[in-house]
Amino acid sequence: MLPKKITTAKVPPLKIQGIKTKLVPFIAESVKWDGAGTYFEPFMGSGVVGFNLEPQKAVFSDTNPHIIKFYQDIQTQNITSEDVRRFLEAESRKLARTPADKNSYYYEVRDRFNESPNSLDFLFLQRSNFNGMMRFNNKGMYNVPFGRKPERFQKALITKIVNQVAWVESILKGKEWLFVHAPFTDAFAMMKKGDFVYLDPPYIGRYDGYYDAWCESSASLLAKLAQNGPAGYAFSMWYENQYRKNTHMQEWTNGVLVTTEHFYHVGAKEANRSKMTEALVVSEANFNLRNESG
């Protein structure tokens, strides 16, 4: 299956801070795997890496239940790309009627979602909020403010989102994919020899309220499980920026480390939208030697 040549990655319908779209070609060319086992992604987030790699068998999991439910709904055809078109066309008219400075309709949808979550409202919020953030308070309530663009859902954007959902629909046909609401430890309990896991956990020192807490002990446990487990792995993490290095990388000693420069455009704080050196640690047996210049 890998290395799969990817020059430009496609973007899934849920855009999330820290999305790896521009890093997908770098990740794909750094990894080799025969695809005979199961691909795991225990920190699914946007799912951009797995969706572009398109393994035959996969388990995508996340502690955020709304992400998992969204893709479960597409997989079961509970929502379709045409449902998304009709919904966004109707909601866009309501959104456009209220002022940019205090868009009451956005907050009406947000309240509705927090009271009774559903995938279409989740998509609407995620594509009209401030700066593509995904953030929840300690009670699990979605609390990202409005993006101040009442005319956000123009025809071209709606078509783009619909096409992104249709792309996911096409990928899922004939695939053995499972979407699971679970912690990363559950995914590791399922892995066996011949499987491969891509790891994109929350960045240590850059917590943004994605859904739940991520701490040093969780990060250390992840390092131990991946490096001592039966599956091959690739681990993404920030390596350094102009201010400091990530000392957690010292816990990843069993694989091959390659780096690349990356710029984050999505984030609530200006300080989190700067140039950064991104690291990828790949298990030795799964490292693609053709990318050893990284």
**pLDDT tens for residues 22-55?**
999 999 999 999 999 999 999 999 999 999 999 9
Question: How many whole angstroms separate alpha carbon 37 and alpha carbon 229?
Answer: 14
Range from 189-203, 212-226, 263-277 that averages highest in pLDDT:
189-203
Range from 17-31, 98-112, 177-191, 273-287 that averages highest in pLDDT:
177-191
Mean pLDDT of 213-235: 93
Q: Going from the N-terminus, what domains does the chain have, and what CATH number goes with each?
A: 21-63+182-291 (3.40.50.150), 79-167 (1.10.1020.10)
- pTM > 0.75: yes
CA dihedral 263, 123, 10, 177 (to 10 degrees): 120
pLDDT of 183 above 90: yes
Question: How many whole angstroms separate alpha carbon 21 and alpha carbon 132?
Answer: 14
pLDDT of 15 above 90: no
pLDDT attached to residue 252:
96
How far is residue 23 from each of residues 8, 17, 20, 29, 51, measured CA to CA in Å? 9, 14, 5, 10, 13
Mean pLDDT of 194-213: 76
Hey, what amino acid is at 30? S
